[in-house]
Chain A
């Protein structure tokens, strides 16, 4: 039986809110869990990818003859082996994706795939890939939004006309799209202000930094059906996208999810999968393709570098009166930066009556950006939260108080359109204001920064199937890869609904043939939407169990209720029937017990976070030390508090890295200078203090357990929290990230020169 409506709120919990050990935990601490590169099949070949060494060039010719003769080589593919989706009327996003998977006429960034080889070993495949002769005709490249938008800039895509501009430009450019949000009267708003500040902010491209490189194993049968094993944030998406690039029907491909070693948005799309399938198809053997770290940095999907101009006004009472914002986001080689989401989130925490927000999606000769945890929002918040910090200083108001005065609440019309339902932004501000940390004394060369952030969180499509086994234990099949402990949360919710022990629920992430469609594990949506599907399926089972008990006792169903995992007759004294007993008798009451729920969840609740950071800056070297960090985030209801805390802490630390030391460094020739963890510097354990968490719970009225997604909001405030702290510690306002020691010392030098 399948139900498509969303369930309603339930009061009081017995399991939800506890901290049991996750079901996949023992495998992961014993090294048994299998991630993307951990599958080995009989007769498996190994792949190697040939990538462009240059940032922008025409491909004049590709000669694979020598490579094909080399030892162990079984298959080689180039762009010619894939359908031309532009010619067959594919949508622009499908065309661009297929061109990113493997280059056709042009290479658009260093690392762009040109060919791939399958051979008996990685060494053989790489030797053969190196023997492929490619002739390139170099074209000038652009690396920043400034270069790409300049007059006379070389074009990445001939004929690209900016969308969102009316009338449409006559000439093509590197600007793919323009978005606008506006309200009220900007001139009046600035006229009403007592203080107006204008600033320009920049951020550099950063990478999600997941420790597991991409990996895929493909096995194409002679009958044309194919299996794909890969770690991803959504095997249904991997199936859809891979099939689209290959020109296949999606159901021809079975995708089995491996455990995933981190994604943060970067594994919601495909890179190796179509190559592996195409090679396996040609070779007649399974093919494994694994990226090395160099390839991950050069050729997956980092987050946009940005330039953001902000002009904001505030009156002496602390009311924000106007905001004028211009943004340009690097999309990388193909359109699709998150400038749209940035435009929606940038002032969403505040109720500002007059604003104009304009954003541009700009292509540059770098890898196509992909989602990175609240895509677009961290950069946007860096700009506005830094500005709010300056405005607070200018009118001598406490920074939390200024935010409280302007905070969006239930009923506020969000800057991006809809009215907010019940939200917890104010509660996160109060949690920070009332925390010990807020009053703690600071020493010399130390500073404190506050910042807030917002993310919509998503609902979207999820399916779940629940079976009662003959022993009365549950199997819960979901289609959402578990990147943060969601299996545990699914089990808790199922256990809660059916009143049984958590250990009696076995949650599994099933392949594309075993469970219905699921959108990606991303958008902070799994606990919300997949959880809703699990809850609904369990509610359906509960109703079914009541009917079977009623039939067994031959009583009306409204005299049966489900209490503590058992059916009880409210008007009689029959021995209650447990799940196990009902399962044992299912042959007499209608057959095996199972239910599926498939829904498109509209129940997502917006998430807010307010954070506080203390730093110390060495005034002679510019080195920044994070001394203390506190984050308050509204989780709605924390199903498994340890995993909610984990999401909060992980997002904060990624934000600290983004603020201090992470950046893509390019050479003048457009090649990447720091494609390794040595020089792409993510925080290490000794860089950090404990990250103190305050879980705020303002339940989301649209979810049965009040859940709000928590995965993303946590990365939105820390860039500004750290920047505001460094600015306070040094007396220098930092407008550009990252704040490396070189940048910080230069600012201190300039301040010292001014006296």
Chain B
């Protein structure tokens, strides 16, 4: 096996164009276990972590740019990003132990394309975009369009994600991500739910995005749940509609981690809880999203 560590995007795209069997990696937290489990070992592994553009978190007035190979520990450790997008930060921080966090990345988590990936629902509800490079240049698509099925993405040969774009959150907006796992850490999500809520001056829901993970071949936007909330107060009645819509939106499987019935039922529960948490946080932002939101609820393991 050859190990290559390009130091620029151009160098990397040229390499990939020249060597069709080459595989990119960031933290290797999925690829190494997969090779141990029998995935054919690539002839060439291309380490993306020495490309400066791919590692780092930068924010300006328009929004954030997050390098695709940035260790997620740097996201959770970025106070400003975490204050503005607590759900995204939570989701990124749930990808494994502290040891994994120094290696896992949004790019890896997304492109590994596990239906249960924790960061994906949070990226989708926040409307993040992926900037993809190839020998022909770059193109930008919504994160929701990257994963096409379990283990597969819409990226063509020779392409890789360089960075993610995240627009600044509007006022009175906050997100949340919850998942259910049997233990308190170290497990793959049985169900994951991300929600982002914008409140109007009356405290009603002005906008909602809700996405579920681990309940379908890819993460699922629950547009019916969003519609049930938009323009309405967040109360028992609208939340009940969210629960029903979330359960209906699932297309889960039975596997060693959960059953169809369990996933459907708990998807509804988590969607409701994520909406409530996001709404509580949105209310606490006091109209601005540039400061820390206080009293952010602790959502470890899907708590209410």
* 8 Å CB interface, B152-185 against A: 180, 182-185
Verify if B32 is at the interface (C-beta below 8 Å from A): no
The verdict on A741 contacting B183 (CB below 8 Å), with A623-B301, A678-B188 known, is no
Nearest residue, chain A, Cβ from B261: A746
Q: Is the CB of A684 within 8 A of B183?
A: yes
The proximity string for A residues 719-755 relative to B, scoring 1 for CB distances below 8 Å and 0 otherwise, is: 0000000000000000000001110011001000000
B266 / chain A contacts, CB cutoff of 8 Å: 620-621, 745
Bound-state CA distance A683–B185 (Å) is 9
Q: Is the CB of B180 within 8 A of A621?
A: yes
B257 / chain A contacts, CB cutoff of 8 Å: 679
Q: Is the CB of A741 within 8 A of B190?
A: yes
Report the minimum CB–CB distance from A295 to chain B (whole Å).
12
The verdict on A741 contacting B185 (CB below 8 Å), with A621-B302, A673-B256, A674-B256 known, is no
Chain A residues touching B, majority SS: loop
Q: Is the CB of B269 within 8 A of A687?
A: no
Verify if A160 is at the interface (C-beta below 8 Å from B): no
Report the minimum CB–CB distance from B41 to chain A (whole Å).
10
Bound-state CA distance A679–B257 (Å) is 8
The verdict on A621 contacting B182 (CB below 8 Å), with A665-B256, A741-B190 known, is no
The proximity string for B residues 250-275 relative to A, scoring 1 for CB distances below 8 Å and 0 otherwise, is: 00000011110110011001100000
Q: Is the CB of B182 within 8 A of A620?
A: no
Nearest residue, chain A, Cβ from B184: A686
Q: Is the CB of B187 within 8 A of A681?
A: yes
Verify if B186 is at the interface (C-beta below 8 Å from A): yes
Report the minimum CB–CB distance from A286 to chain B (whole Å).
26
Chain B residues touching A, majority SS: loop
Report the minimum CB–CB distance from B213 to chain A (whole Å).
15
Work out how many contacts link A and B, with CB atoms closer than 8 A. Answer: 60
Q: Is the CB of A681 within 8 A of B182?
A: yes
Most buried by B among A665, A674, A740, A742: A742
Report the minimum CB–CB distance from A431 to chain B (whole Å).
29
Report the minimum CB–CB distance from B112 to chain A (whole Å).
14
Report the minimum CB–CB distance from B166 to chain A (whole Å).
29
Bound-state CA distance A684–B180 (Å) is 16
Q: Is the CB of B269 within 8 A of A620?
A: yes
Q: Is the CB of A679 within 8 A of B180?
A: no
Bound-state CA distance A679–B261 (Å) is 20
* 8 Å CB interface, A649-695 against B: 660-661, 665, 673-674, 678-679, 681, 683-684, 686-687
The verdict on A678 contacting B186 (CB below 8 Å), with A620-B269, A621-B266, A742-B258 known, is yes
A618 / chain B contacts, CB cutoff of 8 Å: 302-303
* 8 Å CB interface, A682-714 against B: 683-684, 686-687
Q: Is the CB of A684 within 8 A of B256?
A: no
Q: Is the CB of B183 within 8 A of A681?
A: yes
Interface residues of A (CB under 8 A from B): 292, 294, 618, 620-623, 625, 660-661, 665, 673-674, 678-679, 681, 683-684, 686-687, 740-742, 745-746, 749
Interface residues of B (CB under 8 A from A): 36-37, 180, 182-188, 190, 256-259, 261-262, 265-266, 269-270, 301-303
Seed contacts A678-B187, A742-B259; 15 additional CB < 8 Å A-B pairs: A618-B302, A620-B269, A625-B184, A661-B182, A678-B188, A679-B188, A681-B182, A681-B187, A684-B186, A687-B183, A687-B185, A741-B182, A741-B262, A745-B262, A749-B265
28 contacts between A and B (CB under 8 A): A292-B36, A618-B303, A620-B266, A621-B180, A621-B266, A621-B269, A621-B270, A622-B262, A623-B180, A623-B301, A623-B302, A661-B183, A678-B186, A679-B188, A679-B256, A681-B183, A681-B187, A683-B183, A684-B183, A684-B185, A684-B186, A686-B184, A686-B185, A741-B190, A741-B262, A742-B259, A745-B266, A749-B265
